[in-house]
Structure 1
């Protein structure tokens, strides 16, 4: 029987399983930051209650049942068992309070996205299909102000004011990716890291870049946005691999 068929007596179990799978695969891709970084998923209509990883648990060990419920409007959340650390509260609490369209949010310091965030010009030019996916769909935070405590989290959240932009390159910090579902958000996170890697490696050659025309890049981005079910199929395949390996993620 597949692990994902198990249903402990917990609310939002399918969402918990999806989020746990995303944590596990992020660790496998070495896009994690030891016991730091956070993913969240809204579970109420206005997005202010959300699932999140417990404080200081390694992504490779997170199970569906480990995920905690956080209320962005209730500071007492920080007093509960495995409460999120202050930066998780600041960044994700601010995001879910101010951006109800951000149902899912994934923040990492993955290597290539963070290299991009460390450049004086953090734009991602459309030099291949993956890079074109994000053409005019990335907001760049140019004003890093230290650890993402509450004020910094609110400042970052307010940069997501264009619904088309679902990736934030957090200058001097990392990347924040938002979406409607775990599958959509993880898929976007995965491909942004791949795109950033392609760009960084291309820069390392020192040779001129072959940049797509704006109209071709925009056409490509729209076509990928409209491509059916790729994100869902991606996550389902990852869960199938984890299930075959006997992973505990869905427990």
Structure 2
């Protein structure tokens, strides 16, 4: 998987440590683009590489998700605003939001922020709760934090405010904004991103019929959520399959 030895064109001053995390995060970017969960050159993913979470990898501003490579990812520090002075600096809102999250939520090793279509549609509704109407939505039963206090782009105080809302939940649905997923690994975060967007797609589609929804009881929803949590190796196997496809179709992602 480590293609570092094959690269003769890289700047020798680049910090290219944490190669596995770089490769996996590059895969997450490419698949977000393939699945239409990106937005222009906006949105941002990060993964913590230090024990306290303050050092993390993040995408540079202006690079399309479909073109991100492992070597493109920037190693930055949540306490060092000079990261924004470098020529390949991250987006200002990306640095502010992810720095605050990695400082205040060290358990959130991987953080994925998107404006994916159906999750963002849900974030626009006055009631942004996702009811347990099918297996995928039940996976997130009682596992979604909803931000109802949008106060502009994620800079300064807004970034700090948002960073404290997540708690022990894997999903933060950002009202009037989009979606944020946090997990202990890149594989888990991407799996949650994928399935939450699928659940939102089903819900928004069901709402569009105007017909009554078939909502399960809390007991069944809670039981199904636990079954998802107990399912053996699902996220890792899902992500391994995605890596294999990119190894064949887009091998430059891990350069």
TM-score, length-scaled by structure 2: 0.94
CA distance in 1, matches of 2:186, 2:158: 24
C-alpha distance in 2 between matches for 1:211 and 1:246: 41
Q: What secondary structure does 1:193 align onto?
A: helix
What count of residue pairs does the alignment treat as equivalent?
Answer: 246
**CA shift digits 1:217-243 (9 cap, x unpaired):** 011111101111111111111111111
Deviation at 1:76, TM superposition (A): 1.0
Q: Which of 144, 149, 164 is 1:158 aligned to?
A: 164
Per-residue CA shift, 1:97-125, capped at 9, x if unaligned?
A: 11111110000000000000000000000
Q: After TM superposition, where is structure 1 displaced by more than 3 Å over at least 4 residues in a row?
A: none
Which of 224, 227, 231 is the aligned partner of 1:223?
Answer: 227
Secondary structure at 1:148 match in 2: coil
Q: Distance in 2 between matches of 1:150 and 1:86?
A: 10
Unaligned runs of 5+ in 2: 8-15
Pick aligned residue for 1:6 from 3, 7, 10 = 3
Structure 1 stretches lacking a partner, 5+ long = none
Secondary structure of the structure 2 residue equivalent to 1:220: helix
Deviates more, 1:34-43 or 1:235-244: 235-244
1:1-251 paired onto structure 2 within 5 Å: 4-8=1-5, 10-161=16-167, 163=168, 165-251=169-255
Higher RCO (C-alpha 8 Å, min separation 6): 1
Shift of 1:81: 3.2
Q: What is the TM-score when the length of structure 1 is the normalising length?
A: 0.96
